[in-house]
Each structure stands twice: as C-alpha cells, then as structure tokens.
Amino acid sequence: MFNVQLSFTNATIFQFSSSFMVQHHLQLAAASSHGWLRATPSDGHSETSVDKRWDSLAFNPVKTDYIYVMKSCKDGSFSNGGLRHYGNIEISPSAAVLNYGQGIIENLKAYKNKNGSIILFRVEENGLRMRVGADRMCMPAPTIEQFVEAVTSTVSANERWIPPSNKGFLHVRPLLMGNGPVLSLTPAPEFIFLIYVTPVRNYFEGGLKPINVVVENDIHRATLGGVGNIKAIGNYAGIMKAQAKAKANGFSDVLYLDSIHNRNLEEVSTANVFFVKDNTISTPVLGGTILPGITRKSIIEIAHSQGFKVEERLVPVEELFDADEVFCCGNAVCVLPVGSITLNGKRVDYGESGFVVSQQLRSALANIQMGLIEDKMGWTTLLN
C-alpha cells in the first residue's frame, strides 16, 4: 500500500470533520492563458443532497464538481494541467478524435474506507496502459507520474462524491484525445488529457446477480493487427449493434469469438472472461486482440496465491459446455458470475456449485480494493 500526502499546484485543501472540502478560494492552474477558473464547489449540490443520492445510484454519469485538463506541448510533453469546474470543453470540429477516432480511454475506481480515507487501486498500471495505447495510436501521453498526480488531484477534489463502500464507488475516467485540427489522415498536432469522475453502483441492472450471455457468431470485437489490445475509443461503437440485439433478446451481454477461426473465446463486451474446471481456472491468452485487463491481471495473481492452477491459452468455445463455473471481470463489474451461455440456440446453465470460486475471488479482490483487509499485494494507494 502506498500512502500519499496530497499536494496541489496553487491549491489548498482544508480538512473538516475528517473529510476534504474544497474551499471557495481554491486556486486551480492559475495560468490565465489556459482559461482556468477559480473553482468553487457546485452550488447545486449540498452535502445532504449528495448523501441522499446513494441509494438511487446506477451506472450513469453524474455531474460532479471538478474535471482535470492538461494539454500537450509542441514537443509532445504535457504540462500546466489543473482542475476546473465540471463542464463542457472546447474542441475543434476538425479534431482528429472526431474525424478519425484518435483517442483512448482508461477506467479505474476509488473507494472510501471505514476511516474515511480514499483508496485507489493499481493506478500506476492504468497510467502505463494508457502510454502503451497512446504509442499504438501515434499519440504522446502523460508520464505515469503525471497520470497518478492527475488522478489523485481529481479524486480528492471530488471526495464528497465517493459513495460509502456498500453503496458504490467513484468511477474515474481518464481520456486522451487528438484535439488539433486535421483534414488528411494524420496524427493531431495537439492532444488533450482529461479526467472526469462520477459515482456509480452496479454496471448491470441485476446488480451482482449472475448474467446471461450469448455467443456472437457474426460480429467480432477485434482482429489481429488491430487495436483490440488497447482501450481505443473506436473499439466500443463497433460492438454496440451486437450488444443491443442481445439485450433485445433478453441477454445481459455478448461473448465474442476470434475473427479467424470463429471458435476461440475472446472477451465479453467490456470485460475479460474466465472459466473454471475442477481446480483449474482458464482464460484466453493475450495475443493482440484481447485487452490486458488490470482486474484480469489481479485475479490471476490472487488465484495463484489461493492455490489454483491458472492457464492462459486458446479456449475453444465448446469447453464452456463442460465448465463448472464461468465468470467475467473488469473495472466496472469487479468479478461477476455468468449464469448461462447460449451458443447457436443451445443454452448451458451454471450455478450448481453456487459460484464458489468466482465469489471467493471477488471477495478477495473487493476486500483489498475497499480496504477491508491488509493489502499484502501492495496494490492500493491510500490518500491521506
């Protein structure tokens, strides 16, 4: 566990009743040439009104107090970033992100522990993954240190929007996008790094209930040589049609197959997939089309520590019919059991074992993320 003492450029955080409150005179990235504002808490949301919202949280955006914005310099480095009021940003109509999809996203979460401290989970891993994705998309990216500092600043300034751990978490969404004007197919001359946050609860409407998944035979999430192994923004719009069709037919989500043989498992729409047989946990091997999920990486490490045999390999879809359990994992869902999978009209149901393995892994991971147990893995950052 890392302990971080908060430090802001031209900003002061005052502590009241064991919580951070951003005062009206909080100065944020004061350079007037960047149009930064003297930020104050949102007048439309009192502490009481925020507290009343937790029970009605879903997985939808909520207007919080602050966002973080930082622009690239001519040499590709980033500087002069800072917090500003949550609101719209200025973007060119000919921006590369709008015309050619030059952009990537990240996802991470923040919890508040029983002592009121803020907990971030493996934030350096997100910063590293953004840099890897940026390189693939011909984009400069903030350093890992800048990424961590920006996340820390944004989460801390929006501290009052972090739900109690039994009510949800603060979803943190960093974006990197080409904003400079382009017309031909060329990398943008300018880039924006932005972070916004929103309190959320469960990704699926059913909460933590097992989901029902259908295998997609026609639409593929990624192809070899493409960008399926990074969080390119264009990866998601292309699968919305398959997902919408699945939901219209009563399924929770879609399980995609490889684009060459149309046989091997890849991912659920926004999560990695695992299946359990006896004491062995298997997951599709990373090979350029599968996102190297940070939750995936964590589950593999936890499973090893608990004595499971973990295999990363090609997984033919037929093996799902012989599995004891199937589960998916990702930042938003943590670990979520799959109740059934349907392939070409044939449905296989799981749950006779009570989803013992997936629940065991979920508990181990969630307890670390929420600060309920000692973090022996060294994965969390505690903001004091």
Report CA torsion sign: 173, 70, 154, 63. Answer: negative
- The DSSP output letter for 181 is B
Phi, psi of 284 (to 5 degrees): -55, 135
Say how far apart CA 68 and CA 46 lie, in whole Å: 22
Q: Answer whether 383's CB lies under 8 Å from 155's CB.
A: yes
Q: Answer whether 372's CB lies under 8 Å from 1's CB.
A: no
Residues 6+ apart with CB under 8 A from 344: 215, 217
Residues 6+ apart with CB under 8 A from 160: 19, 21, 41, 47, 50, 65
For the question of residue 231 being annotated catalytic, the response is: yes
Q: Answer whether 13's CB lies under 8 Å from 19's CB.
A: no
Catalytic residue among 231, 241, 309, 346: 231
DSSP assignments along 196-250, one per residue: EEEEE--SSTTTTSPEEEEEESS--S--TTSSTTTTBTHHHHTTHHHHHHHHHTT
- Which residue numbers are catalytic? 231
